Structure 1
Amino acid sequence: MNINHLRYFIEVLRRGSIGGAAQDLGITQSALTRSLQKLEQELGCELLERDRRGARPTPFGETFLDHARSIIAELDRGVEALKLMQGLSDAQVKIGVSPNFLNWIVPDAVAAMVERYPGINCRVSTATLEDLTIQLKRCEIDLAFCQSYLPMQVKRGRADPDIKFETLMRARSRAYAPAAHPLASTGRRSLADVAASRWVVPYQLSLSYRFEDAFIRRELKVPVQSINSASIQFCKASARRLGLLLLIPEHLMRDEQSAGDMVALDIPELEFEHDVGLLTRKMRNTPPAVRSLSDVFRQLCLGEPHSQEAPQDRAKCMRETSLCMRFSHQVAWPMVQRGDLI
């Protein structure tokens, strides 16, 4: 089987048309069509449906697509492993990152890899947990540094057999107020104290429905979430500009706290912990670059303050998260359908 036939097949479905794929591949439409026909003849079935709207996979094509991607990805990883062993300049490792971790841990990990392998190319991209999982399954990234895989397990109803999550540390989210906010003074606050306030809550880490769940469990009215966004920077800027309370991971607020712009609120019911670690495919042979990068992440996470919790604390967090997930099925499911739960 000609490996280019597989690459062309994948590209056609990515673009949704033979003309667009031919343009991207730098070949003629007739040459691309012949390649696809040869692949179909070799497999003994039709892989594509072609009409004026473009090209779509047949049931055979849809089944074969994941296997084709895996074949290409394994070949590319083998080539990259050999390049890395030879010290060639174009070896590459593809890293997916949750947006809220892009400026934490990841820059140090990439810097360590570049120092260790001067010729390596680290390709870093951001995506939601759901999209990172899809990209891993499609072999578009080699690993992801992100929050716990548990929300995706709940959403799918089972653990994905092709994906594994390795917990490296814990991160904590809590409430913050702009320095000029009436609630910014020191002292413990109750949920009732902040129920009438307006909030900014990111979509990341399932914070929106965990936030709602905290109030509902105590039979309090859920506060107005004036802003929800997948952009952490937008959430922080909005809270400061509009004088709103903010629920966000602690590690993202260090600069604002140091500058005195934002104040951490002591509200134990709104302190949520999350497992953070590596999301990878289950592979028989892990490429050297991926193994090396995984080790770098493990070493860096050991230096963080929440990397060494006792097992009972971790079990307690997982139980609380699981209870929250079960309870919020009715509350959060509309968000899942809209794609907001990440």
Structure 2
Amino acid sequence: MELRQIQYFIEVAKREHVTEAAHNLHVAQSAVSRQIFNLEAELGIDLFFREGRNVRLTPIGKVFLDHMQQAINVIDDAKREIEEYLDPEQGTIRIGFPSSLASYTLPTAISAFRDQYPQVKFQLKQGSYRNLIDGVIRGEFDLALIGPVPKQEKKVKGRTLFSDNIVALLPVSHPLANRKTVKLSELREDSYVLFPKEFVLRDIIVNACAQQGFQPKVSFEGEDIDSIKGLVSAGLGITLIPEITLVDHQPRSTVKIPIIEPTVTRTVGVIIPSDRELLPTEKLFYDFLIDFFMRLDQFQV
């Protein structure tokens, strides 16, 4: 079994199309087909169902894919570790992040870090709460910024960087738009714009409403912060949103109002795998994050 065969196999499995895989690999389709055939012959199994020009993993092919992706991650980490030990300030960091930290928190931290380490490169990928945790566990991300910080995940270690208030975002036409603060119970009759059910920010909001004896009436759903803010700006409902998402951009025709009774917050932090040590460049950034937000918190106080 050759490394090239594994790389070709993973690309075909990802695209479910030999021609597209060959195009992305910048090799001839015949070369990809031949390597897949040789790999299957060596293993003595069919890794794919053939469906015209398309292919689909067999059940044993899916098992093999999981193992091969882990193997490639190990190989890539070994290469990176050697490179980074030679010069940690020129390595690459793979970071996962949620949409709620995309516009301000992550860019601010990376910008400050690159002022000190301008040669470090970043690979960034946005994901949902569960995808971020699973991505760190599988080695797809070196670390992930996340909110709230998970407490029950044995395969990742979390470090809280700061706490973020959840505030009400209302259209300017809302009857309570001129208030300095608002009780959550006063918003029980409103229509809400929220994330879909599988998103953790929705859970935080629904649980806070439940503590006040009501379930929010959801009129619209959006999968990213900007779409939710846009729907509120258009007057289609209200939302509860992390305050940090409004630092750089609060939509026109909206007002931000702190919530009291209860105060709703979430922790924001960084998670890393619990079963391996960070590589030198990763450790450089991880330590920087902790120090950066500690100093920022002290400054704000």
Give yes or no for the alignment of 1:245 onto 2:224: no
Give yes or no for the alignment of 1:121 onto 2:121: yes
Q: Distance in 1 between matches of 2:209 and 2:277?
A: 47
Q: Distance in 2 between matches of 1:173 and 1:266?
A: 7
Distance 1:51 1:227, change over 3 A: closer
Q: Could you tell me whether the CA contact under 8 Å between 1:177 and 1:265 is conserved in 2? A: no
Report the counterpart of residue 310 of structure 1 in structure 2.
none
Report the counterpart of residue 64 of structure 1 in structure 2.
64
Report the counterpart of residue 328 of structure 1 in structure 2.
none
Deviations 1:197-249 (A, max 9, x none): 233334596343443444445444x3433332122122223323317433101
Distance 1:16 1:162, change over 3 A: farther
Q: Distance in 1 between matches of 2:25 and 2:248?
A: 45
Distance 1:294 1:107, change over 3 A: same
Aligned-pair RMSD on alpha carbons?
3.3
Q: Distance in 1 between matches of 2:54 and 2:134?
A: 23
Report the counterpart of residue 281 of structure 2 in structure 1.
289
Report the counterpart of residue 108 of structure 1 in structure 2.
108
For 1:144, what is the secondary structure of its paired residue? Answer: strand
Count of residue pairs brought into register by the alignment:
298
For 2:234, what is the secondary structure of its paired residue? Answer: helix
Q: Could you tell me whether the CA contact under 8 Å between 2:184 and 2:259 is conserved in 1? A: no
| Aligned with 1:206 (options 200, 204, 227) | 200
Report the counterpart of residue 330 of structure 1 in structure 2.
none
Q: Distance in 2 between matches of 1:187 and 1:213?
A: 24
Q: Distance in 1 between matches of 2:39 and 2:107?
A: 42
Deviations 1:281-300 (A, max 9, x none): 34434221111111122112
- Match runs of 1:93-242 below 5 Å: 93-148=93-148, 150=150, 159=153, 162-186=155-179, 189-203=182-196, 206-220=200-214, 222-242=215-235
Q: Could you tell me whether the CA contact under 8 Å between 2:129 and 2:200 is conserved in 1? A: no
- The amino acid that maps onto 1:272 is V
- The amino acid that maps onto 2:28 is T
Deviations 1:87-108 (A, max 9, x none): 4997422111111011333123
Report the counterpart of residue 265 of structure 2 in structure 1.
273
Aligned-pair identity (%): 25
- The Cα shift of 1:9 comes to 0.9
The structure with the greater share of residues assigned to helix is 1
Q: Distance in 2 between matches of 1:182 and 1:285?
A: 53
- The amino acid that maps onto 2:280 is P
- Match runs of 1:46-85 below 5 Å: 46-52=46-52, 54-85=54-85
Q: Distance in 1 between matches of 2:199 and 2:265?
A: 9
Deviations 1:138-185 (A, max 9, x none): 53322211113649x6xxxxx4x5444333332221223345532133
TM-score (norm 1): 0.74
Extract unaligned runs of 5+ from structure 1: 154-158, 307-342
Q: Could you tell me whether the CA contact under 8 Å between 2:157 and 2:272 is conserved in 1? A: yes
- The Cα shift of 1:305 comes to 4.2
Extract unaligned runs of 5+ from structure 2: none
TM-score (norm 2): 0.82
Moved more, 236-245 or 94-103: 236-245
Distance 1:213 1:140, change over 3 A: closer
Report the counterpart of residue 298 of structure 1 in structure 2.
290
Q: Could you tell me whether the CA contact under 8 Å between 1:177 and 1:245 is conserved in 2? A: yes
Report the counterpart of residue 40 of structure 1 in structure 2.
40
